[in-house]
Structure 1
Amino acid sequence: MPISTATGAQPCPSDQWRHNHNFNQGNPLAERNTRWALLLTLVMMVAEITGGWVFNSMALLADGWHMSSHALALGLAVLAYGAARHFAQSQRFSLGTWKIEILGGYTSALFLVAIAGLMLFQSIARLLNPSPIYYDQAIALACVGLTVNLVCAWLLKEDHHHHGHSHSHSHHDLNLRAAYIHVITDAVTSVLAIIALIGGKLWGASWLDPVMGIVGAIVVCVWAYGLLRETSGILLDAEMDKPIVEEISSVIANQFSAKVTDIHVARVAQHKYSCSLALATTNNITADAVRQALSVHKELVHITVEINHY
């Protein structure tokens, strides 16, 4: 490579080697639908809290405040989308802003754990100290709440936003998935509440209400655990067990007589990875040749190669 000097050569055309680190193209439709889901949830939250106050129903009042936590989580998802888009061109983020969305999903999962704990506490308290239930009003409003949750779930269903995936690896918009799980959680608890309320009204089985609450809390915990595990793995770059890592090693082994001495793979967007690897070889291979060979994997969008000859 020619060296630029003050007395002769042209300056190095560095612009041709500059990288754009804005790997995340965003999800505008998901962001818009999450806003609609947030609005519907807020309206239903106000209706349930008002209904619980007017009808003197603790069950409705509790469900209204329970829905407020989901509204907060949906608001967090909208905020994460907005922040990722707003800071997309900021130089402070070395590999883009996609992980802001993942942080939103992780925080939503923590909210789910808190919601499950609150559901469990309230259900056990109600099981030990039963209180009068206004069945007709509670059933009617719970049915309305279920309808709202189903509409929100349809808005947030990921199939509406992404129909394909890169290569053979399936990834999800985890910020959207977190919002989706929140509304599905509310829908499931509404179904359980309706079953319990009908059972209590028809057969006097008032104990069904708190028992269904305990079942709902367990279901929420299971979903929260799965979401926490996936989002925390991305945030901590704990993804060296993904198939793409083995595929990179396979390309190096099959096309180059080189040994991989160091490799780092991290997800930088929904279907995209950054890869940094070091090779040791006795052959005259170049970093460009390695990058070209790895480019068959379209999910690799940022490849750094170090060649060590011995």
Structure 2
Amino acid sequence: MNSVTNELSCHNHFLSFDKSLRLNAKKAWLVLWITTLTMLFEIYFGYTTHSMALLADGWHMATHAAALGITYLTYRLATNPNMVKNFNFGGGKIIALGGFASSIFLLCVVFMIGLESVERFFHPLNISFDEAILVAILGLAINVICAFILRASTGNHHSHSHDDHGHHSHSHGHYHDHNIRGAYLHVVADAVTSVGAIAALLSGKYFGFYFLDPLIGLIGCIIIFRWAIVLIKDTGWELLDGHAKSVDFVKLKSQLESKGSKILDLHVWQVAPKTLCCELVVTSQKTHGLEFYRQILHNEFNIQHSVIEER
């Protein structure tokens, strides 16, 4: 019986594979400052001008600033050696945890907007249309800028690397940094509500369709709720060590058993945005050697850390 473990030199080695995390942290910090300054501006002028529209949007933006603060803090914790040294696989899971926290904040925003929208149906308030439209346009502009900053970091990534032996590693898996994805969804959610608010306010001002304001608020709630649920499912799956969705298990099993081997046990899970781990137990009449399986895992499926046993 042979076994091998591809050991990593330090707990935080997984995150060193992904240099984009440092860039994402800088983006989160920049967007946090933009959001916070806008929030303070709106709250200050809301109080000085007695504008409820400015105050409401300012405090609403405060929830997003809090979520963005969690996003940035998550990166700091995930890459802090003193924080992650006691975790078996480093701080990678903290990234998913940050995304999960952002999704909970999104649900809180849904609850707040939904409650306010329902109340407006039964107890409509006089709206200062010109002032409210100006605030909505300002909020939309800020959110578009922030979304543009975060957008490039949220998509799928094509992994391409070389291992220590010079072998070519090539994977078509889809990897998400759920932490930055959560921040992006907060910004986009705010932009969606701003677009809806502008449409509703213009309709109310020029056509008297006052009911559209709370109605579009509820529609926005439904959209944001769906985004939040998807993010909760994705981050929860990763936090609970669900099978890696980026791996084609049918293809993986086929290649591992291509020379008469039989898989007795196989687990592949994600421990960081671009890092997969695998536990593999195989049996074979003819010994192929542990390197045979390791090369398949690493070169074909970009699995960086593997524990292999051949019986």
Q: What's the counterpart of residue 198 of structure 1?
A: 202
Residue in structure 2 matched with residue 238 of structure 1 by the alignment: 242
Q: When the two structures are aligned, how many residues end up with a matched partner?
A: 292
**Cα distance change of structure 1 residues 271 and 192 upon mapping to structure 2, 3 Å threshold:** same
> Do structure 1's residue 72 and structure 2's residue 63 form an aligned pair?
no
Q: Tell me the TM-score normalised to structure 1 length.
A: 0.87
Specify the SS of the correspondent of 1:171: coil
Q: Given the alignment, which residue of 219, 222, 228 partners 1:224?
A: 228
Equivalent position of 1:3 in the other structure = none
1:176 to 176, 180, 189: 180
Amino acid in the other structure paired with 2:88: S
**In structure 1, which of residues 37, 47, 51 is the aligned counterpart of residue 45 of structure 2?**
51
Structure 2 Cα separation of the partners of residues 305 and 268 of structure 1: 18
Which residue is 2:8 aligned to? 19
Displacement of 1:65 after TM fit?
1.3
2:163 paired residue number: none
Relative to structure 1, the CA distance from residue 303 to residue 244 in structure 2 (aligned partners, 3 Å threshold; closer, same or farther) is farther
Deviation at 1:90, TM superposition (A): 4.1
Question: Compared with structure 1, are the counterparts of its residues 126 and 194 closer, same or farther at alpha carbon in structure 2 (3 Å cutoff)?
Answer: same
Alignment of 1:94-243 (within 5 A): 94-158=88-152, 164-166=158-160, 167-239=171-243, 242-243=246-247
Q: Which of 285, 288, 292 matches 1:282?
A: 285
Alpha-carbon offset, residue 161 of structure 1: 9.1
Matched position secondary structure for 1:133: coil
Moved over 6 A (4+): 160-163
Q: Deviations over 1:214-246 (max 9, x none)?
A: 011111001111111111111111125653433
Could you tell which deviates more after superposition, 67-76 or 55-64? 55-64
* Letter of the 1:29 counterpart: L
Aligned pairs for 1:255-270 (under 5 A) are: 256-270=259-273
Tell me how far 1:43 sits from its aligned partner. 1.3
1:273 — aligned with what?
A: 276
Q: Structure 1: which 5+ runs fail to align? A: 1-15
- Indicate how the Cα distance of structure 1 residues 88 and 242 shifts in structure 2: closer, same or farther if over 3 A, else same: farther
RMSD value, Cα: 2.2
**What are the superposed Cα offsets for residues 29-86 of structure 1, whole Å, 9 maximum, x if unpaired?**
2211111111111111122223333443333322221111100010000001111111
Q: Which residue matches 2:79?
A: 85
When residues 47 and 89 of structure 1 are mapped into structure 2, their CA distance, relative to the original with a 3 A threshold, is: closer
Q: Which residue of 2 aligns with 1:304?
A: 307
Change (3 A) 1:17 1:154: closer
Specify the alignment match of 2:168 in structure 1: none
AA aligned opposite 2:223 = V
Larger deviation, residues 61-70 vs 25-34:
25-34
Say if 2:7 and 2:305, in contact at 8 Å, map to a contact too: no
The one-letter code sitting in structure 2 at the alignment partner of 1:285 is H
- TM-score in terms of structure 2 length: 0.87
Once the two structures are overlaid, the 10-residue window that deviates more, 121-130 or 291-300, is 291-300
Deviation at 1:204, TM superposition (A): 2.1
Q: Cα deviations across residues 76-113 of structure 1 (Å, max 9, x unaligned)?
A: 00001111111388431211211111100011001101
Q: Secondary structure at the match of 2:242?
A: coil
1:163 to partner: Cα distance: 6.2
What is the SS of the residue equivalent to 1:257? coil
Confirm or deny: 8 A CA contact 1:260 1:278 kept in the other structure: yes
CA distance in 2, matches of 1:18, 1:105: 28
Query: Shift of the alpha carbon at 1:128?
Result: 0.7
- Alpha-carbon distance between aligned partners in 2 of 1:271 and 1:17, rounded to the nearest angstrom: 17
2:14 partner SS: coil
1:281 deviation in Å? 2.5
Contact conserved, 1:158 with 1:173, CA < 8 A, in 2?
no
Matches within 5 A, 1:27-46: 27-46=21-40
Q: Is the 8 A contact 2:244 2:276 kept in 1?
A: no
Tell which structure's C-alpha radius of gyration is larger.
Answer: 1
What is the DSSP-based 3-state SS (H/G/I as helix, E as strand, rest coil) of the residue aligned with 1:296?
A: helix
